[in-house]
């Protein structure tokens, strides 16, 4: 049974309100922004990935972008810098959205592919019908969905 912490706020334990799943989760996942982002136990590798994206961009902006701004007339150098920064922000946004969302469950294919016709396979390969059978499947119902 879940006993909410007594912090005195209007949180999950207030007046008959059920706790959120992320508050009672027993796994090793890390939750941020009230359960909107779920990271695996290796969330520290995300910081390395962000560093490996940002380091070349910062080096480019400091060493190359400075010369682009001075060498190109009519603010073309600034335009290049803006494009680099916008794409970097876009890349980091997609990285955080991809790594911070619950991937969910991929449903099993309820209609497995048909095996190739045995009549068409008479080339002497030596396979018996038992070897051509598809593996057995089991339907699993999760929260009322197949």
Contact 70, 31 (CB under 8 A): no
Give residue 31's pLDDT: 77
**Residue 89's pLDDT band (cuts 50, 70, 90):** very high
Which residues lie closer than 8 Å to 102 by C-beta, 6 or more apart? 38
Give the domain ranges of the chain. Answer: 21-99
Give residue 35's pLDDT: 73
Which whole number is the average pLDDT over 80-94?
Answer: 93
Task: Give kind and range of the element (H or E) at residue 30.
Answer: strand 30-32
**Residue 93's pLDDT band (cuts 50, 70, 90):** very high
**Res 1 pLDDT > 50:** no
Contact 25, 18 (CB under 8 A): no
**Residue 25's pLDDT band (cuts 50, 70, 90):** confident
Predicted confidence (pLDDT) per residue in 102-144, tens digit: 777 677 777 766 665 545 555 555 555 555 566 677 777 888 8
Predicted confidence (pLDDT) per residue in 34-68, tens digit: 777 777 777 778 889 999 999 999 999 888 888 88
The CA-based dihedral angle spanning residues 37, 41, 46, 49, taken in that order and rounded to the nearest 10 degrees = -150
Instruction: For residue 99, give both structure tokens.
Output: 């790594």
Give residue 7's pLDDT: 52
Which whole number is the average pLDDT over 63-90?
Answer: 85
CA 22, CA 35: separation in Å to the nearest integer? 6
């Amino acid at each position: 049974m879940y006993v909410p912490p007594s912090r005195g706020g209007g949180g999950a334990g207030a007046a008959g309100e059920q706790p959120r799943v992320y508050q009672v989760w027993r796994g090793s996942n890390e939750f941020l922004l009230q359960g909107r982002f779920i990271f695996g136990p290796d969330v520290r590798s995300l910081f390395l990935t962000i560093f490996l994206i940002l380091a070349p961009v910062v080096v480019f902006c400091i060493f190359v972008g400075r010369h682009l701004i001075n060498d190109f007339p009519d603010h073309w150098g600034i335009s290049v810098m803006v494009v680099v920064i916008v794409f970097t922000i876009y890349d980091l946004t997609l990285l955080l959205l991809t790594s911070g969302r619950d991937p969910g469950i991929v449903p099993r294919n309820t209609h497995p592919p048909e095996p190739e016709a045995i009549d068409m396979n008479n080339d002497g390969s030596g396979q018996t019908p038992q070897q051509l059978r598809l593996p057995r499947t089991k339907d699993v119902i999760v929260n009322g969905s197949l």
